[in-house]
Amino acid sequence: MAHFEEVLKQSNVHPKPAGLVLQYGTAGFRTNAKQLDHIMFRMGMLATLRSKKTKATIGVMVTASHNPEEDNGVKLIDPMGEMLTPAWEDYATQLANVEQEELLTSLKDIIEKEAIQMSQEANVFVGKDTRSSSARLSQAVVDGVIALGSQLKDYGLVTTPQLHYMVCCQNTQGKYGEATLKGYYSKLCQAFIHLTKNASNRTDDQKHIYVDGANGIGALKMREMESHLKNDLRISIFNDGSRGKLNHECGADFVKVQQKPPTGIKINSGDRCCSFDGDADRIVYYYTDSQGLFHLLDGDKIASLISSFLKELTTQAGLDLVIAVVQTAYANGSSTRYLEDTMKVIVRCTKTGVKHLHHAAQEFDIGVYFEANGHGTVLFSKAAEEKIRQRAEDANINDEMKKAALLLQSTINVINQTVGDAIADMLLVEAILAVRGMTVKQWDAIYSDLPNRQLKVKVSDRRVIDTTDAERQAVSPAGLQEAIDSLVKKYRQARSFVRPSGTEDVVRVYAEADTQESADALAHEVSLAVYRLAGGVGHEPKPLH
Ligand code: NG1
Ligand code: ZN
């Protein structure tokens, strides 16, 4: 076959360093950019096979999200804009790791196992973030796509969620929207303008938001979007990439983990700020109060705001829809209590990793899912969307019901249902605050976070840690869970768990308790237990204070 000759020729341009083994993890492949050229080429080919198999457009995004500038990575996007199906993650790992001379055999093996018709047409969408290595690496993806004879559309610089959106639009024949950046901005911004236009309680300072773009793609895309907002929202962008380094002392991950404002942002007390991560699929909010104290409003608080808004609107519209919030073990205990006891919504806990949350959220009429780190979105079932549409068009209902149904429709349109999207989530939060006339302080006050701490421990092989119960309990190594249990008992309102990271070669430790000192002490003690029982390497973890 002609394609295979081309594959052989091109694979010599993108050779695999012998012996290198990488795995398609929760965030695709992610490592130092120098090691990724062959991976990109091979993922271009795998996307083509996936496209032939599904008879649909597949996306390939070149990014390493919140990782440092010298890293890069790649993720495949399935037809409805969702993450690659797990069975194909295994093919991705297989294809990535075969040595040069076995490449064709491995390709043919996938083709055979999946009964792929090579004569079937294929179409692949490619996108990249602003890393200096991204241009070269996305070219390697393109070479892989072309080698197997697929059609191709290169979107160039886009956020991860924008590429997910394009794939979904393309495969739904435009029902979800137009597969262009202009289509994306106008859908989201029109919905935002509709939501805010009758917001009688909105104050002037509510029309101004400060955005930390993490020196990445999000900043560029916010600039592009501004004109579509028709002055309905003023946006001040910091860390726009003109000076600082990507994700360096800025961005959503830095702000969440360090629990402090990013460098490079100048704000006054009470100003409403948010930080995106390096590929703009995460967002966290924050402000400083009149005493200069920093307040973080993370994914849990965003999920709480959104779900309470949706509950209010569905009730006002007289719609009986089941709303659930999906979280992970990292969700602050106060948020879970607030959602269950005060809001009375269903709460589910899944393993870390967006695909797990997304999957669980699909089981409800309305599923709001957020990781504490700010990655999340809202899913509406087809039936729920239909009920909302019918209610909005019903001529026999009162004004209040009608208004609520129309607001719900615009809420659906401002959301990117394919994946967590910092830009879309920001517009939704801004709209809710405007409609409610709510300040960032009032939003923050819906519940108080339990003080918490996240730490990392280096061990020689993090796979020795095995967990259960949505990662909240360690089943191995022996004795670790017992050690954690007895440490937790020493503190009030305490909780702690450990799990191997899916994106870094470390074990993550999380602890929360009634005071910051207790949370810090507990996190440190649990880190020591991990170090001692799970084969820690290097120095023993030191206390934080
Ligand atoms: P790992 O490295 O597995 O903890 C991190 C985040 C996840 C998810 C992935 C993918 C934390 C604690 N973990 O995973 O939530 O976002 O990266 O980017 O924030
Ligand atoms: Zn990201």
CB count within 10 Å of CB 357 equals 28
A 10 A CB-CB count for 184 gives 27
By the 8 A CB rule, do 513 and 522 touch? yes
Distance 281 CA to ligand 2 centre (A): 5
Query: Atom 16, ligand 1: which residue's CA is nearest?
Result: 353
Return the number of other C-beta atoms located less than 10 Å from residue 363's C-beta.
14
Nearest ligand 1 atom to alpha carbon 257 = 19
Residue type (1 letter), 458: K
Residues 6+ apart with CB under 8 A from 323: 307, 310, 311, 314, 345, 346, 364, 365, 366, 367, 368
The answer on pLDDT for 1 being more than 80 is no
CA gap 317, 346 in Å, rounded: 20
Same CATH topology for 2-157 and 452-533: the answer is no
> Domain 2-157 has what CATH class?
alpha beta
Ligand nearest to the CA of 216: 2
> How many whole angstroms from 334 Cα to the centroid of ligand 1?
21
Q: Could you tell me how many helices (H) and strands (E) the chain has, helices first?
A: 18, 19
Residues with CB under 6 A from ligand 1: 26-27, 65, 330, 352-353, 371, 373, 375, 501-504, 508
Cα 476 to Cα 480, 499, 505: the distances in Å are 7, 10, 18
Whether the pLDDT of residue 458 is over 80: the answer is: yes
Which ligand ends up closest to the CA of 422? 2
pLDDT for the residue 503? 84
**Complete DSSP assignment for 106-133:** HHHHHHHHTT--TTS--EEEEEE-S-TT
Q: Quick one: CA torsion of 96, 102, 105, 108, rounded to 10 degrees? A: 30
Higher pLDDT, 413 or 266: 413
CB 37 within 8 A of CB 14: yes
pLDDT at 256: 95
| 391-410 confidence digits (pLDDT tens) | 999 999 999 999 999 999 99
Tell me: the pLDDT tens digits for 159-182? 999 999 999 999 999 999 999 999
Please state whether beta strands 123-128 and 57-62 pair in parallel, antiparallel, or not at all (unpaired). parallel
By most ligand atoms within 8 Å of CB, the mutation choice from 373, 421, 455, 499 for ligand 1 is: 373
| Nearest ligand, CA 278 | 2
Q: What is the pLDDT of residue 198?
A: 81
Q: Please give the Cα distance from 522 to 543 (Å, whole number).
A: 10
Identify the residue whose C-alpha is closest to ligand 1 atom 10.
27
Q: Which helix (H) or strand (E) holds 382?
A: helix 382-393
What is the residue whose two structure tokens read 């967006």?
354
Atom of ligand 1 lying closest to residue 502 CA = 3
Residue 501 CA, ligand 1 centroid: distance in Å: 7
Q: Which atom, in ligand 1's list, is nearest to the CA of 256?
A: 19
The band of 231, judged by pLDDT with boundaries at 50, 70 and 90, is confident
Which residues are catalytically annotated?
65
The answer to whether residues 46 and 126 touch, using CB atoms and an 8 Å cutoff, is no
Are residues 370 and 376 in contact, defined by beta-carbon separation less than 8 angstroms?
yes
pLDDT on residue 2: 64
Instruction: Please give the CATH superfamily to which domain 452-533 belongs.
Output: Alpha-D-phosphohexomutase, C-terminal domain (3.30.310.50)
pLDDT 10s digits, 271-297: 999 999 999 999 999 999 999 999 999
Average pLDDT over residues 111-119: 97
pLDDT of residue 430: 98
Token pair of 428 as six digits: 């939704």
pLDDT at 204: 81
Total-model pTM? 0.96
* Residue of 65, 355, 357, 503 to mutate, ligand 1, most atoms within 8 A of C-beta: 503
Mean per-residue pLDDT for 259-269?
91
Q: How far is the CA of 253 from the centre of ligand 1 (A)?
A: 10
Best mutation site among 23, 26, 330 for ligand 1 pocket (most ligand atoms within 8 Å of CB): 26
Distance CA 200, CA 368 (A): 27
2: number of Cβ within 10 Å: 7
Question: What's the mean per-residue pLDDT of the chain?
Answer: 96
The minimum-distance atom of ligand 1 relative to the CA of 330 is 12
Q: Specify the DSSP class assigned to residue 262.
A: P
What residue spans define the domains of the chain? 2-157, 183-296, 299-427, 452-533
Q: Is 192 a residue whose pLDDT tops 80?
A: yes
CATH of 299-427, one of 3.30.390.30, 3.40.120.10, 3.40.50.10320, 2.160.20.60: 3.40.120.10
Q: How far is the CA of 172 from the centre of ligand 1 (A)?
A: 30
Instruction: Please say if the pLDDT value at position 110 is more than 90.
Output: yes
The ligand that comes nearest to the alpha carbon of residue 376 is 1
Report the separation in Å between the CA atom of 63 and the middle of ligand 2, taken as the mean of its atom positions. Answer: 8
Count of C-beta atoms within a 10 Å radius of residue 204? 7
* Section 226-244 average pLDDT: 94
d(CA 126, CA 505): 28
Pairing of strands 473-476, 234-238: unpaired
Task: Please name the residue that has the structure tokens 């694979």.
Answer: 11
The fourth-level CATH superfamily of domain 183-296 is Alpha-D-Glucose-1,6-Bisphosphate, subunit A, domain 3 (3.40.120.10)
544, 452 in Cβ contact below 8 A? no
